[in-house]
Structure 1
Amino acid sequence: MPRTRKEPDARADFRGKAATINDIARLAGVSKKTVSRIINRSPLVRGDTREKVEALMREVGYVPDPLARGLAFRRSFLIGMIYDNPTAQYIVDIQYGALDALRDSGFELVVHPCDSRSPDYVTGVRRFVQQQKLHGVMLVPRVSEDQALCDMLNEIGCRYARIAAVSLDGPEKMVVTHDRDGAAEVADYLQTLGHRDVAMITGPAAYRSAIERTEGFVGALQRRGIELPKSRLVEAGYTFESGVAAAEKLLGAKKRPTAIFCGNDEMAAGVYRVALRMGIQIPQQLSVVGYDDSPLASRLWPPLTSVRRDTRDTGRMAAAMLLQNEAGSRPLSSVRPHLVIRDSCQPPA
């Protein structure tokens, strides 16, 4: 039998080094421009040519250089994520959502933490955007609530997507999380259980999310005939430590509330710590509700009732918004919260 000719292994040419776009063009027998069109999903390439080149790129492990692509197209293939948020799990979930949207798009995600209380932080963000030549930026609360930052981005021609509790911009730039509605659902639930002496540990007053959650909770109670005195509203910082300090104030009072709603799960965990130390049983003597429904909520004991907002989906929506070529006219992007009931609440004794 005649021996069949063995096809050469393309990977043999690149042992110890990375293939370039010129290598791919040479091995595939096409022009560099054709390879570039295939990388950028141009429709101007025949199907069989596209399949052959893509198979070759997979074989040799070729990965397009986003910086080189940016130079060729006079723009970057980088999406920025700008944040100043004390809740680590929230930031991680937003990133995962953004990466979901960017997968197989040719774009990469770069993150930029900042201190929005610093007087020159807007200048710092401007420098970051211009140095990286970003295609667009995702703005995460609380920086998404800063109009001066958005005005700067408009001035330098950088597209952005804002994530916020309420609509602060045109629908092509907003993902709204409707925090007021989630907090109102908590008030309705606690009142249905029979709680009338309730308290709330709020987030920082500078955060729009904290304002919306507080007003949503207080307003829903008022509609049910329950007035929340100022002594039952304690501001904290969306952190475990600030939740501990706020819980000590509420649970150390001569008359303690029968239920506490916390502006996020981290602060609710702080309430659990103080209740345990003081010998207060949850939920027999104190009902507790959180917000975010982070992984922490189901890991506490008893498992924490919490408002779920799909944070990962929020990040996906914001990143996908930046990949659209034209904003056009479209409906507002929304993520609706809902209460997840677990074992941390029961009717008051």
Structure 2
Amino acid sequence: MANKAQDESVTAKLTINDIARMAGVSKKTVSRVINRSPLLNAQTRERVEAIIRETNYVPNPQARALALGRNFLIGMVYDNPNQQMILSMQRGVLEALHDTEFELIVRPVDRGSARVMDDIRGFIVRQRLYGVIILPPLSENDRLAQLCDNEGCRYVRVGSAVLDDNEHMVVSNDRDAVAEAVRHLIQQGHRRIGLIAGPHGFRSAKERRDGFELALAEAGISLPRSLIADGQYTFESGISASESLFDLSPRPTAIFASNDEMAAGVLYAARLRGIQVPEELSIIGFDDTPVTTRVWPPLSTVRWPIMAMGRAAALKIIGVAIGEGGQVSEPSTFSSTLIRRASVAPPSGG
């Protein structure tokens, strides 16, 4: 019994340096094994894992956190009405953190508050965050990036346009993707196309509107202000915005909604008015969230690779900790693509 207790005492005192010495590798290599980094050959990984099993070594995150001056926590800060986008981003981040020592803390804030910068600074300091992922539109604030730098906190900004250098950014090609979607409507024969824009102050809303206008300009199609309705990235705003477009005479034969929640609102409002989709009205959304295949007809949409962006954002932050030497190997630019479904058809009458 005494020998067993003694063995457990010795095991409890083992450090990552001890494991490295026993395996004949560097401390960084052991860290890579612990955090499932792919930057190892199979033979080295197996040797280190065997020693970890034999010694019953358990990493001490508190000790490592103390040495780093940071906890193994990644924060995700947002103020965005698109809840599906938040959930998809979380899934991507959690996929990246799986089998590592890192955990995710999600923090909503009010970007309109005079105290928003102090709130985020307090969050970073209290939690001793290792890094923070900043979602749009907060990510568009350069002062927030500077705040993270000042607090020594790694950060990645997620956006719809280039906001920072590659190490601190993941970005999608919203403008080009929306232009492709609208060109598809034009190729189907639509000339009177309505836009439900995103909220003012969101860079994604601007990029998507710019792509919409670009495609119309290329085709020589004018865009009266009456064909643009403002939305808030919510289902309810999609309903109210589409009502104003339906009241036009003639009404649009197609509508591009700047996200899927609003596109679903358009479909709902059309059904209430007895407008047949796609026979009398074609609809395209943006995001490719689950709602697009749970309504009838299924909605054409632009697939936004938000989970992949979340995964890349997390890996950019934790790369140093899992032994990648600070090298940014994750992509920074992600392509959104048009997904064609049954909500688009040529306009009635040709």
| TM-score band w.r.t. shorter chain | 0.7 to 0.9
In structure 1, C-alpha distance between the alignment counterparts of 2:92 and 2:300, rounded to whole Å = 24
Aligned partner of 1:277 among 272, 275, 281:
272
Secondary structure at the aligned position of 2:15 is classed as helix
Residue 296 of structure 2 is aligned to residue 297 of structure 1: no
Q: Does the C-alpha gap of structure 1 residues 49 and 192 become closer, same or farther in structure 2, counting only changes over 3 Å?
A: closer
Match among 172, 175, 191 for residue 170 of structure 2: 175
Query: How many Å separate the matches in 1 of 2:69 and 2:52?
Result: 24
Q: Which runs of 5+ in 1 are unaligned?
A: 1-7, 14-22
Offset, 1:108: 1.0
1:346 has 2:345 as partner: yes
User: Are 1:208 and 2:207 an aligned pair?
Assistant: no
Greater shift in the superposed pair: 298-307 or 30-39: 30-39
Aligned counterpart, 2:53:
54
Return the TM-score normalized by structure 1: 0.85
The corresponding residue for 1:3 is: none
Distance 1:256 1:108 in 2: 50
Q: State the Cα RMSD in Å.
A: 2.7
1:176 counterpart letter in structure 2: V
- Indicate if the aligned counterparts of 1:172 and 1:332 stay in contact, CA closer than 8 A: no
Note the alpha carbon deviations across 1:293-349, whole angstroms, 9 max, x for none: 001111110000000011110100000000122555779611101000000010001
User: Retained in 2: the 8 A contact 1:171–1:331?
Assistant: no
Partners of 2:200 and 2:157 in 1: how far apart? 19
1:33, CA displacement in angstroms? Answer: 3.6
Q: Is the counterpart of residue 130 in structure 1 residue 125 in structure 2? A: yes
Residue identity over aligned pairs, in percent, reads 41
Is 1:151 equivalent to 2:146 in the alignment?
yes
Q: CA deviation at 1:43?
A: 3.5
Residue 336 (structure 1) aligns with = 335
User: Which residue in the other structure is 1:34 paired with?
Assistant: 15
Matches within 5 A, 1:257-272: 257-272=252-267
Q: Which moved more, 1:276-285 or 1:102-111?
A: 102-111
Q: CA deviation at 1:192?
A: 0.3
Unpaired segments of 5 or more residues in structure 2? 21-25, 32-43
Q: Distance in 1 between matches of 2:338 and 2:13?
A: 54
**How far apart in 2 are the matches of 1:154 and 1:190?**
44
Give 1:1-349 correspondences, 5 Å limit: 26-27=7-8, 29-30=10-11, 32-34=13-15, 42-43=28-29, 50-54=49-53, 57=56, 66-67=61-62, 69-325=64-320, 327=326, 333-349=332-348
- How many residue pairs were aligned? 324
Deviates more, 1:67-76 or 1:165-174: 67-76
Displacement, 1:165?
A: 0.5
1-structure distance, mates of 2:215, 2:311: 31
Query: Partners of 1:324 and 1:193 in 2: how far apart?
Result: 46
Counterpart-to-counterpart distance in 1, 2:209 and 2:177: 10
Please give the alpha-carbon distance, in whole angstroms, between the structure 2 residues aligned to 1:50 and 1:341. 47
The 1:31–1:182 alpha-carbon spacing in structure 2 relative to 1, beyond 3 Å, is: same
Cα deviation, residue 26, structure 1 = 3.6
CA distance in 1, matches of 2:269, 2:27: 57
Alpha-carbon distance, 1:77 to partner: 0.8
TM-score, normalising length from structure 2? 0.85
Distance in 2 between the 1:128 and 1:313 partners? 26
User: How much does 1:73 deviate?
Assistant: 3.5
C-alpha offsets along residues 228-263 of structure 1, whole Å, 9 cap, x if unaligned? 111111111000111111011111223210000000
- Secondary structure of the 1:106 match is coil
2:29 is paired with a residue whose SS is coil
